[in-house]
């Protein structure tokens, strides 16, 4: 909608819900089910609230979708539950993948005045309301802010929240900071003034780019991800009743823990070193015990899962495994030999999965007698947290193998995107483009801080050089080398990055791990280029480079659509939800038209001002 129509929507919400507070008598909201967004704001506009103890989902998810709780939520909530609780519900929970609260939490925080059992919820709520109206019951809200909180705690909490949000997601997303502005304003403003400010902010956000982009991203995650492009008939999938993990390192341990937790089948790890295996099994057992301690597993369930995990140096333990995944060195010859040796042991119907991030799946399976049983299954780190799995179909991979991989991904509660067997697949190919362009700019004389500033508008979770530090400089150099070898005309290698890898550092951090700047020794290593560029020039170069690469990937059929690439970048690279993925951004900034004379999305995913 236009700004004018969006403002009317905001005002109509206030007029309608505001009647609950303007009746001249107390009003009551009895919450007996799901109450999200406007549903919860109905209750907040009432004078008093009761909640059914069985209600499992209440919340204000608007910031997650690029909006604010604009029908009174942002104004009323802090005056009911206090600023810290309001920040949790309006900002923290939405930004934590839209976390919701249950009825007991709502009651404890003060969102609801009283909680009743579902057995007689309506009768008890009516009786309670009668007690309030007749004066027999006095409602005291312990969480409501007093003078000290309004004067000192409130402004301090807002300042802390601003820094926290900026450090976690940057400053590209508008809605979190708009919500903070409103929460700051409502501390001293009247209800009418705050509602008017809500109208202004909400209308601006509804009509802007980020709300449209957020809705596109939301539909990708909720709908598109559940119907993956190119997936074979699910009926072709083989049952998985036992999992084998080759390796005993950190990645292998993460795999084993995830598989046993989600699939609840026996998981056996193998390695040439029994001590490493014992350490791996002990690690997994500790993690399961930790889940029990947090109340996420019962004692019986924890014991059952621990009993399912074993480790052995005997390969024959894999004879009855249906799914065998490797977590070993990223070396082609090693992976080939390992899979070939295990093929002699496992059943003819068992599936091999490789977690390779840079090698050809087809080449990995070159020494298999039945290469059709091999599929790429690329996780992102940390395995338990990152929701994406790139399922890589080599030209030899059978439909039965692919269907089994997709079924396993669903069982692991992962979002699976099918890609062809090409260097970097989707996420690493595009991140390699970002890192390669960043290092090339530095190699030719641009200061790293200029590159970081140029990348800020993309809204990525971290700047390029912090990402390099996170993945490891040697790993980063390997990634750039791999992509340069595959696409030498478009991907840069960087001798300086190899020197930095030998040096071991590129950024500095304080005792808390916060980035404080660039290491002086590292700056000396990369000094020497004579053709620096400005932040604006680099930004456009990177935008155009990404648009070109994605256009090529679609032409090559790496994935079925631009939506698949957006889904990969959101779920696997942390591309901002409110940017809608990478292709809507490239359309909006003009890179798509500059590079190939069209847009990835028709129509463009943009607000009314740029539609």
* Measured distance CA(182)–CA(136) in Å, rounded: 37
Confidence band, pLDDT 50/70/90 cuts, at residue 196: very high
CB atoms within 10 A of CB 138: 7
Q: Specify whether 467 is located in the same domain as 500.
A: yes
pLDDT in the model for residue 611: 41
Of the three residues 511, 530, 557, the one that is the final residue of a domain is 557
Is residue 566 within 8 Å of residue 229, measured between CB atoms? Answer: no
Average pLDDT, stretch 96-125? 97
For the stretch 115-137, pLDDT in tens is 999 999 999 999 999 999 999 99
The answer to whether residue 563 sits within a structural domain is: no
Q: What is the pLDDT of residue 609?
A: 55
pLDDT digits (tens, 9 = 90+) for 34-69: 999 999 999 999 999 999 999 999 999 999 999 999
pLDDT recorded at residue 20: 93
Residues 470 and 509 in one domain: yes
Q: What pLDDT score was predicted for residue 610?
A: 44
Same domain, 397 and 483: no
For 545-563, what is the mean pLDDT?
98
Same domain flag for 397 and 431: no
162 contacts: CB under 8 Å, gap ≥ 6: 177, 180
CATH classification of the domain holding 471: 1.10.1040.50
pLDDT tens sequence across 282-300: 999 999 999 999 999 999 9
- Assigned domain for 591 exists: no
Segment 202-252, tens digit of pLDDT: 999 999 999 999 999 999 999 888 889 999 999 999 999 999 999 999 999
DSSP assigned state of 398: -
Same-domain pairing of 31 and 60? yes
Q: What is the pLDDT of residues 355-409, one digit of tens each?
A: 999 899 999 999 999 999 999 999 998 999 999 999 999 999 999 999 999 999 9
Kindly indicate the confidence band of residue 461, based on its pLDDT and cuts at 50, 70 and 90. confident
Cα separation of 246 and 256, whole Å? 10
Reported as a pLDDT band with limits 50, 70 and 90, residue 528 is confident
The pLDDT score that the predictor gives to residue 170 is: 86
Q: 312 is written with which tokens?
A: 């052995």
Residues β-bridged to residue 243: 267, 323
Q: What is the widest separation between alpha-carbon atoms in the chain?
A: 83
Q: What is the mean pLDDT of the chain?
A: 95
414 lies in the same domain as 483? no
Q: Is residue 590 part of a domain?
A: no
The rounded distance, in Å, linking the Cα atoms of 62 and 52 is 23
Instruction: Convert 539-570 to b/e letters by CB count within 10 Å (16 or more is b).
Output: bbbbbbbbbbbbbebbeeebbeebbbbbbbbb
Task: Note the pLDDT of residue 608.
Answer: 79
Among 515, 540, 557, residue at a domain's last position: 557
**CATH for 178:** 3.90.226.10
Number of domains the chain is built from = 3
Same domain, 378 and 453: no
Exposed/middle/buried for 490, CB within 10 Å: 0-12, 13-18, 19+? middle
Same-domain status, 31 and 127: yes
CA gyration radius, the chain: 27
> Across residues 147-154, what is the average pLDDT?
96
CATH number, domain with residue 253? 3.40.50.720
Asked if residue 176 and residue 269 are part of one domain, the reply reads no
- Residue 15 within any structural domain of the chain: yes
Q: What is the pLDDT of residue 465?
A: 96
Residue 564 lies in a domain: no
Q: Are residues 167 and 70 both part of a single domain?
A: yes
**Percent of all residues in the chain with a pLDDT value above 90, rounded to a whole number:** 93
Beta pairing partners, 114: 50
Which residue is it, tokens 């020794």? 521
Residues 504 and 530 in one domain: yes
Cα(259)–Cα(244) distance, rounded to whole angstroms?
A: 10
Structural domain harbouring 39 = 3-207
User: What is the C-alpha to C-alpha distance for residues 576 and 165, in angstroms, rounded to an integer?
Assistant: 13
Q: Are residues 111 and 200 in the same domain?
A: yes
- 575, two tokens: 């591309």
In a domain, 159, yes or no: yes
Domain membership of residue 226 (yes or no) is no
């Amino acid at each position: 909608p236009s700004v004018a129509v969006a403002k009317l929507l905001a005002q109509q919400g206030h007029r309608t819900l505001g009647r609950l507070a303007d009746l001249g008598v107390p009003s009551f909201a009895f919450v007996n089910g799901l109450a999200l967004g406007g549903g919860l704001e109905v209750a907040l506009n009432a004078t008093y609230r009761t909640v059914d103890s069985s209600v499992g989902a209440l919340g204000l998810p608007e910031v997650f979708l690029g909006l604010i709780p604009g029908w009174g939520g942002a104004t009323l909530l802090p005056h009911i539950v206090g600023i810290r609780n309001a920040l949790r519900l309006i900002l923290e929970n939405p930004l934590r993948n839209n976390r919701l609260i249950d009825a007991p939490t709502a009651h404890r925080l003060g969102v609801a005045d009283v909680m009743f059992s579902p057995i007689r919820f309506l009768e008890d709520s009516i009786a309670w309301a009668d007690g309030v109206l007749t004066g027999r019951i006095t409602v005291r809200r312990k969480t409501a802010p007093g003078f000290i909180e309004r004067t000192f705690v409130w402004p301090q909490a807002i300042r802390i929240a601003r820094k926290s949000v900026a450090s976690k997601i940057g400053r590209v997303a508008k809605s979190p900071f708009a919500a903070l502005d409103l929460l700051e304003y409502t501390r001293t403003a009247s209800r009418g003034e705050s509602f008017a400010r809500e109208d202004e902010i909400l209308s601006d956000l509804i009509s802007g780019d980020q709300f449209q982009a957020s809705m596109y991203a939301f539909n990708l995650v909720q709908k598109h991800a559940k119907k993956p492009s190119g997936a074979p008939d699910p009926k072709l999938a083989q049952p998985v009743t036992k999992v084998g993990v080759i390796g005993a390192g950190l990645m292998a341990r993460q795999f084993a823990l995830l598989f046993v937790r989600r699939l609840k089948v026996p998981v056996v790890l193998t390695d040439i070193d029994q001590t490493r295996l014992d350490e791996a099994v002990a690690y997994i057992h500790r993690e399961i015990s930790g889940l029990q301690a947090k109340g996420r597993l019962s004692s019986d369930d924890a014991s059952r899962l621990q009993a399912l995990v074993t480790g052995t140096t005997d390969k024959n333990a894999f004879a009855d495994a249906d799914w065998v995944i490797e977590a070993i060195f990223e070396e082609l010859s090693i992976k080939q030999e390992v899979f070939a040796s295990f093929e002699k042991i496992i059943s003819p119907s068992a599936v091999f999965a490789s977690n390779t991030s840079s090698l050809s799946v087809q080449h990995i399976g070159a020494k298999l007698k039945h290469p059709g049983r091999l599929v790429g299954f690329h996780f992102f780190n940390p395995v338990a947290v990152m929701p994406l799995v790139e399922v890589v179909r080599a030209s030899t991979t059978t439909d039965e193998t692919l269907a089994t991989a997709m079924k396993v991904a669903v069982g692991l509660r992962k979002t699976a995107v099918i890609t062809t067997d090409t260097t970097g697949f989707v996420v690493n190919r595009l991140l390699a483009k970002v890192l390669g362009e960043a290092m090339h700019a530095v190699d030719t004389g641009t200061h790293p801080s200029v590159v970081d500033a140029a990348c800020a508008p993309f809204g990525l979770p971290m700047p390029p050089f912090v990402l390099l530090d996170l993945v490891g400089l040697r790993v980063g150099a390997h990634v750039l080398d791999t992509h340069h070898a595959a696409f030498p005309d478009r991907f840069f290698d960087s001798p300086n990055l190899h020197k930095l890898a030998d040096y071991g550092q590129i950024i500095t951090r304080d005792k808390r791990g916060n980035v404080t700047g660039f290491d002086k020794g590292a700056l000396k290593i990369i000094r020497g280029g004579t053709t620096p560029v400005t932040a604006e020039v680099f930004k456009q170069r990177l935008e155009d480079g990404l648009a070109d690469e994605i256009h090529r990937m679609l032409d090559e059929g790496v994935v079925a659509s631009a939506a698949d690439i957006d889904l990969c970048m959101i779920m696997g690279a942390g591309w901002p939800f409110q940017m809608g993925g990478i292709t809507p951004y490239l359309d909006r900034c003009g890179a798509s038209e500059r590079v190939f004379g069209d847009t990835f999305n028709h129509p463009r995913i943009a607000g009314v001002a740029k539609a």
